[in-house]
Amino acid sequence: MLENKEYKVIGTRPIRHDGVDKVTGRAVYGADFQAAGLLHGRVLRSPHAHARIISIDTSRAEALPGVKGVVTTKDLPDAGDKVADLGEGAVNLKHLCDNILASDKVLYKGHAVAAVAATNPHIAEEACTLIDVGYEVLPPVLEVRQAMEPDAPLLHEHLRTTSLGETAEEPSNVASHIQHKLGDPEKGFAEADVIIEREFVTGTVHQGYIEPHNATAHYNQDGQLTIWCSTQGAFTVREQVAEILQYPISKIKVVPMEIGGGFGGKISVYIKPVAALLAKKTGKPVKVLMNRADVFEGTGPTPASFIRVKMGATNDGKITAAEAYLAFEAGAYPGSPVGPGAMCIFAPYNIENVIIDGYDVVVNKPKTAPYRAPGAPNAAFGSETVVDEIAEKLGIDPLEIRLLNAAKEGDRRADGPVHPRIGCIETVEAAKAHPHYTAPNGKKHHGRGVASGYWFNIGLESSVTINVNSDGTINLIEGSTDIGGTRASIAMQAAEVLGIPAESVNPSVVDTDSVGYTAVTGGSRTTYATGYAAYEAAQDVKAQMIARAAKLWEVDAANVQFADGEFSSINGKEEQISFRDLCARLGETGGPIVGSGTVNPGGAGGAYATHVVDVVVDEETGKVDILRYTAVQDAGKAIHPSYVEGQIQGGAVQGIGWALNEEYIYNAEGEMTNASFLDYRMPTCLDLPMIDAIIVEVPNPGHPYGVRGVGEVPIVPPMAAIANAIYDAIGVRMTELPMSPDRLLKAMGKI
């Protein structure tokens, strides 16, 4: 079993390999990239939320001294109605292209319309003001329920609802309707003694990474296109750019620079194809940078949603049925994360009778993009609040009701899959046993809340190559961009196999020409899948080293064993050589050793989290302060516990921001009125206490060291946990996010 395994490197806390570069300012991020003859690009964006483009005249911009090229949708190849599969499911290519540079319509304020390359960024910006675009302004649709009305203005005249495999005849803003059903919900509700049904509304929120999007592109005379950029996945950039530009992937090299946060928001491309178009037009390298308003208005946030949850339970706390209606805003083009939301919503529970309906709906807002456990936080805000209310009605402790109904190995999720070994029960038990949960909590306007969350995690493809150095170290070549310390967590898995310290591994994240295909840093997959590939590559090195030792000693490889960094012979001869000493003898025993590992593992193993939070509500102002926060999570096996804690703490705090402050605020014309870090209020360190991260380890049988993805699930519980704490404090159920002071004051009847 994995449970009692002792490790030498795994579970320790070495200094990350890229750490010194990052604390001294030397690490090179996308915007830091320089090239001789570099031009600077700037994108012109739509001032309207919904309009038909009548004309685009770029002649005045082109005449401005310093301007070297202007591009519009006409510079993109004709997309037709092709459907492209970009590793995230099928995507309509016209939608993809239109989101890069609008063709017939603009569908949100901030939608890219044209772009300029000039000798400096100020000239490029000035030139954008000289592009004349004729618009026929149309009424915007800004909210999911409004967009679903039969008489709502249509974003796409061709869009028809696909519902359970059938396509409707009339156009609609509803792109699709999905349904999952388990058991007999009607019967389940009939068996219930208590039924709670509530409606919830959540706002549009942004990932809020501190580094804006950036891209520098250059075409060589032989047609080779190179793109230097910040991205969560160099290979997905290559695929998307190839599809959008209709250019062979073999002629595109993507160089991932250091990346300043992503959280899902740096998977879709926006300005990368634009930089390429400008580079082609000018024959020079072109760097395009977004500013912060561009990031808010022109890149994918995570959707606002309308959710209805109904759950029923017997008097002894058994949940007998659950029903959910999830309507998610996709933004301008179809593709909201309502699917994952529907997969996760009741996953912490074993419920026999479930029905879940999900709707993907277009509105005049930026096309949504993944954000940390996409869809699951919206859904859990609804379900975890309703579970809390059921527990209250039945007089059962809220963690106890979770234990009574907890999902476990062998139980079926409502959308089909059967759970493998999971740590749902263990996380709830750890929360219940934590001193935070048993600490006194009775002061006026103080409250405590709990909530659980689930994220399924993904595997996907990863490749790792290991080159063995003569001094006993290894160079580990990988394709996973490092957003949160994964050079360390991947290197440590190779080090464990080879019995060497983490410091003896030199990890490099390289371009798409230099490593095998590797999927995005996302889906909580990097330490799991790329770590798995590193394990396989290290096993390959180990096997080759054993063969070299056998050759040295003239024995059969089967008679060589490797333990604690030493090769030794068994069966007769008494020979021994350290990993380090054998590394120095590779030349004489046959030449260099290169190990490789490629994986596409299926056993990602789902992750569970349970959070406990104490709040105080200011009765005068409606402001909620977080007094204490404890986040418990099953990591399977924490490779580098500090960075696992970091993921838990960071996810919890993003959730706190989502719960209390963050939302896109729109006016009636569909303009976001708070597109800055001053007005889109993310938590600062003054808003927070320490975040106590508790790691539970229920090893994942789908990974050699038991790793489960850890990055996403910590953002799932906070909104409901805080809503439940607010209820405990002031006796009001909050059903709308964010739970900002004005909403609190309204809920308390003060305004």
24 counts as binding another protein under rule CB under 8 A: yes
123 counts as binding another protein under rule CB under 8 A: yes
Least distance between another protein and beta carbon 233 (Å): 15
Q: How far apart are CA 58 and CA 56, in angstroms?
A: 6
Strand (E) or helix (H) holding 568: strand 566-569
642 counts as binding another protein under rule CB under 8 A: yes
115 within 8 A of 277, measured Cβ to Cβ: yes
Q: Which amino acid is at 629?
A: Y
71 within 8 A of 274, measured Cβ to Cβ: yes
| Interactions with another protein, residue window 45-104 (CB under 8 A) | 66
Total residues binding another protein (CB under 8 A): 63
**Sign, Cα dihedral of 72, 74, 80, 85:** negative
Segment contacting another protein by CB under 8 A, of 17-25, 107-115, 301-309, 552-560: 17-25
Q: Tokens in use for 243?
A: 């599809």
Query: Locate tokens 């996945």: which residue?
Result: 233
373 counts as binding another protein under rule CB under 8 A: no
Query: Locate tokens 């483009």: which residue?
Result: 53
Segment contacting another protein by CB under 8 A, of 97-105, 208-216, 466-474, 597-605: 208-216
Q: Tokens in use for 628?
A: 């204490």
User: What is residue 381's DSSP assignment?
Assistant: H
29 counts as binding another protein under rule CB under 8 A: yes
258 counts as binding another protein under rule CB under 8 A: yes
Nearer to another protein, 449 or 718 (CB): 718
Of 16, 68, 421, 611, which one interacts with another protein (CB under 8 A)? 16
Of 12, 103, 162, 291, which one interacts with another protein (CB under 8 A)? 291
36 counts as binding another protein under rule CB under 8 A: no
In 580-657, which ranges are E strands?
A: 594-599, 607-617, 624-634
Of 36, 418, 563, 685, which one interacts with another protein (CB under 8 A)? 685
Closest CA to 174 of 165, 186, 162, 157: 162
Of 84, 142, 241, 259, which one interacts with another protein (CB under 8 A)? 259
Nearer to another protein, 256 or 597 (CB): 256
Segment contacting another protein by CB under 8 A, of 84-92, 299-307, 363-371, 640-648: 640-648
Least distance between another protein and beta carbon 302 (Å): 14
422 within 8 A of 408, measured Cβ to Cβ: yes
Nearer to another protein, 178 or 715 (CB): 715
Closest CA to 657 of 713, 719, 724: 719
* Strand, coil or helix: 590: coil
Strand (E) or helix (H) holding 163: strand 160-163
Segment contacting another protein by CB under 8 A, of 25-33, 447-455, 535-543, 734-742: 25-33
Of 1, 6, 23, 55, which one interacts with another protein (CB under 8 A)? 23
Least distance between another protein and beta carbon 123 (Å): 8
11 counts as binding another protein under rule CB under 8 A: no
Nearer to another protein, 263 or 562 (CB): 263
Site string for another protein, 475-494 (x = CB under 8 A): --------xxx---------
Of 398, 423, 453, 650, which one interacts with another protein (CB under 8 A)? 650
Q: How far apart are CA 214 and CA 257, in angstroms?
A: 10
Of 181, 281, 292, 318, which one interacts with another protein (CB under 8 A)? 292
Helix, strand, coil percentages, rounded to 5, for the chain: 30, 25, 45
Least distance between another protein and beta carbon 144 (Å): 26
Apex CA 356: angle with CA 352 and CA 359, to 5°? 170
71 within 8 A of 278, measured Cβ to Cβ: yes
CA distances to 138, 313, 376 from 15, rounded to whole Å, are 55, 49, 33
Least distance between another protein and beta carbon 618 (Å): 18
501 counts as binding another protein under rule CB under 8 A: no
Least distance between another protein and beta carbon 12 (Å): 12
Burial of residue 592, with CB atoms counted within 10 A of its CB: 0-12 exposed, 13-18 middle, 19 or more buried: exposed
508 within 8 A of 478, measured Cβ to Cβ: yes
Least distance between another protein and beta carbon 33 (Å): 9
Angle between helices 234-245 and 272-282 (to 10 degrees): 60
302 counts as binding another protein under rule CB under 8 A: no
Of 209, 270, 567, 666, which one interacts with another protein (CB under 8 A)? 209
Bridge partners, 500 (sequence order): none
Of 8, 11, 12, 32, which one interacts with another protein (CB under 8 A)? 32
CA distances to 91, 301, 375, 417 from 336, rounded to whole Å, are 12, 10, 8, 22
Of 183, 261, 283, 603, which one interacts with another protein (CB under 8 A)? 261
Q: Is beta strand 174-182 parallel, antiparallel or unpaired with respect to 354-362? A: antiparallel
Q: Which residues bind another protein (CB under 8 A)?
A: 13, 15-16, 18-20, 22-29, 31-32, 34, 66, 120, 122-123, 207-212, 258-263, 289, 291-292, 483-485, 640, 642-643, 645-647, 649-654, 676-678, 682-686, 688, 690-691, 693
